[in-house]
């Protein structure tokens, strides 16, 4: 069985620029760094920020390569960069889901390369919760994006039957 789910978008440069501008505005408006130029600081944040970078790393880059003098106030304001990017990326993913009409490509119980699909992740976007083969921890799941799931075999009839009974009783 083929998985035809389109690849999810990566974070757009436009979203990073918007997040950097929001973060720079926070630095200027909530700290003693009110004399900084919004456009210059925004561009500098974009130049040095990388996905997953925390505020301390970003502050060190700003200090080392752009001659800013970060303090605790600035560090606290820079904390917002990842949150701003995450919010904009989540909006981008929700738009992708709606415009591409993304649906789970495989039913619950399907065996994929890593294990068995147990359910759709209620907290993620277009993501399965997978029970990994030979995993001894009952509450441990692997999170796998819909588009990355590789089909191995269909769910067993007894699994589908017992699962539908659970759903009716719920």
Task: Note the pLDDT tens digit of each residue in 33-88.
Answer: 999 999 999 999 999 999 989 999 999 999 999 989 999 999 999 999 999 999 99
pLDDT number for residue 135: 86
**Domain chopping of the chain, boundaries:** 13-100, 111-169
For residue 77, give the nearest of 20, 35, 146, 137 by alpha carbon.
Answer: 20
Of the CA atoms within 13 Å of residue 32, those in its CB half-sphere come to 5
Other Cβ atoms within 10 Å of 146 Cβ, number: 22
* 8-state DSSP, 149: -
- Residues 131-170: tens digit of each pLDDT: 998 888 888 999 999 999 999 988 875 555 544 444 333 3
Residue corresponding to tokens 């769910």: 155
Find all residues with CB under 8 Å of 82, minimum gap 6, and list them: 52, 53, 54, 55
pLDDT number for residue 106: 95
pTM of the model: 0.77
pLDDT number for residue 97: 95
pLDDT number for residue 168: 37
Phi/psi for 76 (5° steps) reads -65, -40
- Rounded CA separation 15/151 (Å): 33
The sign of the torsion formed by the CA atoms of 59, 65, 69, 74 equals negative
- Rounded CA separation 130/149 (Å): 10
Q: How does residue 91 score in pLDDT terms, banded at 50, 70 and 90? A: very high
Other Cβ atoms within 10 Å of 107 Cβ, number: 12
- Residues 101-135: tens digit of each pLDDT: 999 999 999 999 999 999 999 999 999 999 998 88
pLDDT number for residue 165: 40
């Amino acid at each position: 069985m083929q998985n035809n789910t389109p690849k999810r978008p990566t974070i757009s440069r436009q979203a990073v620029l918007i997040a950097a501008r929001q973060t720079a505005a926070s630095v200027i408006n909530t700290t003693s760094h009110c004399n900084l130029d919004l456009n210059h600081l925004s561009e500098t944040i974009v130049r040095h920020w990388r996905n997953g970078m925390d505020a301390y790393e970003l502050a060190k880059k700003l200090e080392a390569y752009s001659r800013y003098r970060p303090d605790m106030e600035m560090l606290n304001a820079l904390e917002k960069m990842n949150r701003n990017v995450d919010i904009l990326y989540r909006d981008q993913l929700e738009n992708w889901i709606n415009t591409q009409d993304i649906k789970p490509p495989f039913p619950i119980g399907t065996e994929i390369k890593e294990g068995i699909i147990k359910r759709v992740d209620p907290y993620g976007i277009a993501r399965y919760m997978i029970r990994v083969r030979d995993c001894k921890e009952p509450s441990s799941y692997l999170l796998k994006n819909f588009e990355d799931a590789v089909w191995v075999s269909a769910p067993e009839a007894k699994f589908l039957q017992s699962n539908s009974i659970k759903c009716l009783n719920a």
